Structure formats: C-alpha cells, structure tokens
Chain A
Amino acid sequence: MLVELTDIRKKYDKEVLKVDKLLFQKGLIYGIIGPSGAGKSTLLRIINLLTPFNSGTYQFMGRPLPSNGQERLKLQRKMALVFQKTLLFKDSVWNNVAYGLKARGFSRSEITQRVGELLEQVGLQELAFRRADTLSGGEAQRIAIARAVAFEPHLLLLDEPTANLDPGNIELIEKMIRQLNRTKSITVVMVTHNVFQAHRIAQEVIFIHEGRIVESGPTEQIFEEPLDPRTKAFVEGRMIY
C-alpha cells in the first residue's frame, strides 16, 4: 500500500475532515470527487504533509509518519502536489521544471538530461526557454505538472488541474496524466468536481461529502451501481450545492 490513512481528523473552528480509512495503491489513478467545500483539497494537503492533522495515523509505504523534520522532508520529497491555481516561478520554463531536482541536489548534468527527456516526452520541448509568465493558461498548467513529476515522485497529487481550461487543453492534460501514470508508474490522486473527468481518467473513485468519505471503489461501480443515494445523486449531476 502506498498511502494508508486511518481515523484522520482535521479541525479548524469545526471539523472539516473525518477519514476513517483510506488506501491508495501503487500505480493507480484515483479520482476524488465531491461538491466544493467537501474537504477534497484539505485531504490532498494532508497527504502532502502541507497541512497537519489533529489525530489519526498516516502511513507511507507501510511506515508511520516520522517526527523528525529531516525524515519528514525526505518523505515529502516522495510526492508532489499541483495546486488548483497555477503558479510558476518567474523564471524560464526550464528552470521551473528543474526546481525539484535542484532541491534534491541532483548534479547539473543529470538535471539537464532529465529535464530534457521529460519535456520531450510530454511534447513541451519548444517551450523550454520561454519565460514562464509568457505562457498561456493551458501551457502553464502542463508545465506545472511537468515540474511536479520531473523528480519522479511516487505519488502525484493534482488539485483541479483542468479548472478554467478549454476542452482542447483539458484533453491534452488528461492525456499527459495517463501517460505519466503509465510510463513512469506514478500513482495519481486527482481532485475534481467534474464527474465526467473522473469517469474518463480514474480507475478508482472516492466520493467525499461534508468532510466524510461517503463511498469509494472502482470507477465503474461508483458510476453504475452506487450504494449511497448521495453518490448516485452526485454522479448523475442532481446534487444541489
């Protein structure tokens, strides 16, 4: 098991997340769906160790969360999170993609090789020397994803990666996600409010409502035979929120 969450609770003023059990298996694409405000982004941030949780246990590859800061950083470096709001560094595309590798202390030649290969693989090599702030929204989001996978994390967390993009760009990004999952065997957890996108791309779907996991399972099952009436309402687009 790649990630295992047990009895995770997160409170701000009131409880925003209560996860009794959640498992992510290596190599799959997960879709987390649910209305806005359901706690999807908080869940991603907790997995990425950006937001601390109040109680519960967190295991990564069978090992508990280390208390030592250096060890936590090592663990954090095994995953990457792409935020809903794209923010590239004010630098060249190349340097953006190289950032995670530099942070991990890769040698210059290795960085050059890896960044070059990745950009070619995902068909973005012609953007390599553009300044990041000159890119279009779709280009920027693809670079943000490339930046997150350049260091080949075990786990790629995506928060609404195609929000505000046009259908052409959505297709390109979905293709890119599938490709990265397949060729680099990166496990993907993607938050989306778009049920069709989850249907298209995910192998497993988790439905969250009001901070709790209502239902999870293989995509076909969630969409064809949901057990909970709220899941059914949401995937059929009937949930009012």
Chain B
Amino acid sequence: MSRLLEGFVEAFQLIIALDPALLQIVFLSLRVSILAIIISTLLGVPLGTLLGLKPERKTRFVNKIIFTFMGMPPVVAGLVIYLFLSRQGPLGVLGLLYTPTAMIIAQVFLSFPIVTGLTMVGIRAKGSEVEEIARSLGAGSALAAWTVVRELRIAILGAIITGFSRVVAEVGAVMIVGGNIAGHTRVMTTAIVLETRRGNFELAIGLGIVLLMLSFIVNSVLYNIQRGGE
C-alpha cells in the first residue's frame, strides 16, 4: 500500500515540478492525438454527413465497412501502417517509420472510421429533415450541408469525443509505428507500458492518472462547446 502511495506521490511530484521529460511526453501525446483527431474530423465529418444524408439502403455496404473498421484492433492497425511505412514497404522511401507523423497516421486510421460512422448515425436521425428545411429556405447544397452539421453539432461532437478517447488511450498502434523512442516518439500510453515492463507499477499508475486528467480537460472543453450548442 505504501508503495502505491509512493508512486502517486512520485507522479504528482513530477507533474507539479513540471518535469521536462514528463512534459515532453504529455505534449507529444496531446500533439499526436489532437492532430489525428483534427484530420479525422476534417475527413470524417464531411464524409459522415454525406453518407448520413443518403438513404440508408444506398449506403448499406459502406456502413458495414465503416462499422467493421470502427472495431479494428489497434495492434492490427499499427502493423498495417508499419508494413506500409517500413523501408521495405510501399511508402518506405518517405522514412516515416518511428516518427510522430507515423503515429498520427496510425491514429487517423483508427479514429477516422469512428468519427465518420458516428457522424453518419447522428446525421441520419434528423439530417434529411434539416437539409430539406434549409433547401426550402433557399440554401444551396453547401449551405444546406453546413446547416445540417451545425444543427447536429452535438451528435458530431460526440463522435469527435469518442474518436479522441480512442486514440489518446491507444497504445498498440503507436508502440509499433512510433517505437516508444525516448524524447522522440514516447507518449503517455507507451511510457505506461514501459514502466509496467520495468516493474515501476506505481509510476505507471501515476502516468495513467495524468493521462486521465488530460482527457478530462480536453473533454471538458469539448463538452462546454457541446453544451453551448444546445
């Protein structure tokens, strides 16, 4: 029990002291996950909106594919990206393996189906109705789609939050494509795995608490936006 306490104390000391190594890990985690979710949002929200506004019978096959990819095991996603980015893979010349960029690609691969799928589901519930009203009031296609997104922003933000939660807590894919290189590709989750492997369970839990606090802050901000939209 006292060991556990020591671990918490150690972790919090690192936080309070703004330990540079810890801060770097924290910032890299945020940078990778937030960039990944921004890319997924920019791609997934328009695609999900487009699909959600189509009648369901026309998108059945696409639905199945998206829903399947929503459940993709991160390690498999990581391996696929790894094989693409490896020097012997088709994109090997880019030299992206073991870089933060590779981690962002893997996380986009994981979160894009979630953002797209959940946006589609949210739009489908009420989107066509909103679209028709917008059109009946003289909106062109672009404005009508934008109005749909605005009206259903709560559902869409829910999709984004879910996608973010998935990537920020994900370890399998970033471990494989990032390599957990200290000071370069080490993020919260891979650091937790490392400390667990080294038997530093308490520090690992401390890092886990930091990760939860970060998620709480980011989600609070998103939640406030969502509430503001009500």
User: Taking the complex as a whole, does A directly touch B, i.e. does some CB pair lie under 8 Å apart?
Assistant: yes
B129 within 8 A of A: yes
Are B137 and A148 in contact, with the CB atoms below 8 A? yes
Are B136 and A90 in contact, with the CB atoms below 8 A? no
A196 within 8 A of B: no
Q: How far is the CB of A117 from chain B (nearest CB, A)?
A: 18
Contact (A100, B135) CB under 8 Å given A87-B130, A89-B150, A90-B230:
no
B133 within 8 A of A: yes
- Give the residue name and chain of the A residue nearest to B131 (CB): A50
Partner of B147, one of A48, A89, A147: A89
Are B135 and A90 in contact, with the CB atoms below 8 A? no
Are A48 and B133 in contact, with the CB atoms below 8 A? no
Are B138 and A89 in contact, with the CB atoms below 8 A? no
Are A81 and B136 in contact, with the CB atoms below 8 A? yes
A1 within 8 A of B: no
Using C-beta atoms within 8 Å of the partner chain, give the interface range for chain B.
10 to 19
Task: Return the CB mask of B119-144 against A: 1 if under 8 Å, else 0.
Answer: 00000000001101111111110010
B229 within 8 A of A: yes
Q: Bound state CA distance, A80 and B134, in angstroms?
A: 10
Contact (A73, B140) CB under 8 Å given A89-B151, A90-B229:
yes
Contact (A83, B136) CB under 8 Å given A90-B229, A90-B230, A103-B143:
yes
Q: How far is the CB of B9 from chain A (nearest CB, A)?
A: 47
CB-CB under 8 A from B230, the residues of chain A are 90, 133
Q: Bound state CA distance, A23 and B147, in angstroms?
A: 33
CB-CB under 8 A from B229, the residues of chain A are 90
Partner of B137, one of A85, A90, A99, A133: A99
CB-CB under 8 A from A89, the residues of chain B are 130, 147, 150-151
A76 within 8 A of B: yes
A104 within 8 A of B: yes
Using C-beta atoms within 8 Å of the partner chain, give the interface range for chain A.
20 to 34
Q: Bound state CA distance, A160 and B138, in angstroms?
A: 21
Contact (A50, B135) CB under 8 Å given A87-B129, A90-B229, A103-B140:
yes
Q: How far is the CB of B147 from chain A (nearest CB, A)?
A: 7
Interface SS of B by simple majority: helix
Are A103 and B138 in contact, with the CB atoms below 8 A? yes
Are B138 and A104 in contact, with the CB atoms below 8 A? yes
CB-CB under 8 A from A90, the residues of chain B are 150-151, 229-230
Contact (A76, B147) CB under 8 Å given A83-B133, A87-B129, A90-B230:
no
Q: How far is the CB of A133 from chain B (nearest CB, A)?
A: 8
Q: Bound state CA distance, A172 and B133, in angstroms?
A: 23
CB-CB under 8 A from A133, the residues of chain B are 230
Q: Bound state CA distance, A151 and B137, in angstroms?
A: 9
Partner of B133, one of A73, A76, A87: A87
CB-CB under 8 A from A76, the residues of chain B are 135-136, 138
- Give the residue name and chain of the B residue nearest to A73 (CB): B140
Partner of A48, one of B129, B136, B140, B150: B136
Contact (A103, B137) CB under 8 Å given A89-B147, A89-B151, A90-B230:
yes
A–B complex contacts, Cβ < 8 Å, 18 sampled: A48-B136, A50-B132, A73-B140, A76-B138, A80-B136, A83-B129, A83-B136, A89-B147, A89-B151, A90-B229, A90-B230, A99-B139, A99-B147, A103-B134, A103-B139, A147-B137, A151-B137, A151-B138
Residues of B within 8 A of A (CB): 129-130, 132-140, 143, 147, 150-151, 229-230
Known pairs A73-B140, A76-B136, A90-B229; list 11 more (Cβ under 8 Å): A48-B136, A50-B135, A82-B136, A83-B129, A83-B136, A87-B129, A87-B130, A89-B130, A90-B151, A99-B147, A103-B140
Closest 9 CB pairs of A and B: A81-B136, A77-B138, A100-B137, A103-B138, A103-B139, A100-B138, A99-B137, A73-B140, A103-B143
